[in-house]
Chains A and B, each alone.
Chain A
Amino acid sequence: MAHPPRHSAMLSLSNSGSSANSDKQQPPQQIQHIANTGLRVPSNRKTIYDRHLNRSRNAEISRSSFAFLFGEMVTYAQRRVTGIQDLEKRLNEQGYPMGLRLLDLLYYRTITSSTSSSLASSSTSTAPPNRPLRILPLLHLIHGPLWRLLFNRPADALEHSVSPDTPNEYMITDNDPLVNAYVSVPKEMHMLNCAAFVAGIIEGVCDGCGFEAKVTAHNQPTELWPGRTIFLVRFGESVMEREKVLERAGIK
């Protein structure tokens, strides 16, 4: 679980087409893959390789279950930290690997549901793996498909820093983050934003796409949206330089 061969599993499944009951005609390399591991499998073969990856695509679970799990994640993180920054860092670190995994899932979903995907439309290439090459398509991927996969709706805003000193800064806004729905932050911790977890997810997605970035969550309440949170995405210098080169080359 800590080091799962997730990616290979997803690739081999996507090779086998979208039919959920293709048990009989699985490509040989996939069977090989299972045989190569020392893992025992149930005789009825209830493994992840036998289930379609889109099985859970539209599945739902109680929002409370998520709240309780996330709450326990925060509690656990709190046990091992000294201050608010430390806690946010830790939540960020927990989100990061989830971002990497979600990226795999997003790719897989856009490959298999080729028509009318907003991810596909954000790229000029018609080849299936629509890996974003430029910053904007990446941010659109986060603002749209990633948010929808996680929270069933797109994020509320996507902005570029107006300051000439920070062209590498972008802001994604969520007016009412699901993760903070039940969090009442005590006054002495008013800087804390548990959406640092989501910031970590975003960071994982960026990094997984080859965009080195630091992402942080900040409270920006308005009268209407007391829980409004800004995710500040700061891309690294290498990303900005590549961006210039790609721009000159006319790649979108």
Chain B
Amino acid sequence: MSATKASRIGEELWKTRIDKVNAELVTLTYGTIVAQLCQDYDSNYQEVNKQLDKMGYNIGMRLIEDFLAKSGVGRCSNFRETADMIAKVGFKIFLNISPTVTNWTSDNNQFSLVFDENPLADFVELPDDGRAQDELWFSNILCGVLRGALEMVQMQVDAHFVSDVLRGDDATEMRVSLVRYIEDEMPPEEE
């Protein structure tokens, strides 16, 4: 499936199959979650990143079912197709954005998602404490979502942000690498 076809599917689903809420409700709820974590972990931002990733992982494992139920798409035939599906269908129907897929490695196992828009960070400025801009990945939940969602469709991936406009970078970029395809699990004891 081509990237343009994926875009078309994403647009169409967004228009016809998706129940919507006010984006600001989501933005502010997410901000509340991050603020709570910063408080609970005493502004230990590494730990906050970890917790956000973990939450995202849990969300991803659920979200993939909703994605499949809404989109009705089947298995992707390769990782490049998976990348387009994530960017043009997944991000489209859940956050109404379409990050750019770019910077492929030659083995087709690693790519970047570059975000022009990020509704999670719409009202956000990081704390001016001399650390947050170096340590906190505000939108880290998204990495966990990808990890969780892809694991459910038998792909183990690594996902992490490499830059973020909130940190003063010129772009927000996430790196996604395929680690391996996961085999089907067998029943515990065979008789």
Measured CB to CB, the residues of A under 8 A from B are 1-6, 9, 37-44, 46-48, 51, 55-57, 59-66, 68-73, 75-76, 80, 94-95, 97-98, 101-102, 105, 149-152, 178
Contacts and interface: CB of A to CB of B under 8 A. Distances in A.
Nearest to B24: A56
B102 interface: no
Contact of A69 (B29, B93, B124): B29
A27 B124 CA distance: 21
Nearest to A148: B22
Most chain A CB atoms below 10 A, which of B21, B96, B127: B21
Q: Taking chain B's interface residues, is the majority helix, strand, or loop, or is none over half, making it mixed?
A: helix
A75 B58 contact: yes
Given A39-B125, A152-B21, A64 B66 contact: yes
A39 B133 CA distance: 7
B167 interface: yes
A73 B40 CA distance: 13
13 contacts: A1-B127, A1-B138, A4-B127, A39-B128, A65-B95, A70-B29, A75-B55, A94-B32, A94-B33, A105-B24, A150-B22, A150-B25, A151-B22
Given A1-B31, A60-B23, A64-B19, A38 B59 contact: no
Contacts of A9: 125
Given A56-B119, A69-B59, A72-B55, 11 more contacts: A2-B38, A39-B133, A40-B168, A47-B125, A65-B21, A65-B95, A66-B26, A71-B62, A72-B59, A73-B32, A151-B21
A182 B43 CA distance: 32
Which bracket fits the contact residues of B?
35 or more
B29 A98 contact: yes
A43 B168 CA distance: 8
Nearest to B38: A2
Contacts of B165: 42, 46-47
A59 B170 contact: no
Contacts of B136: 1
A178 B28 CA distance: 15
A76 B18 CA distance: 26
Contact of B169 (A42, A70, A94): A42
Nearest to A75: B58
B165 to A, nearest CB: 5
A72 B144 CA distance: 12
A57 B20 CA distance: 14
A48 B170 contact: no
Contacts of B36: 76, 94
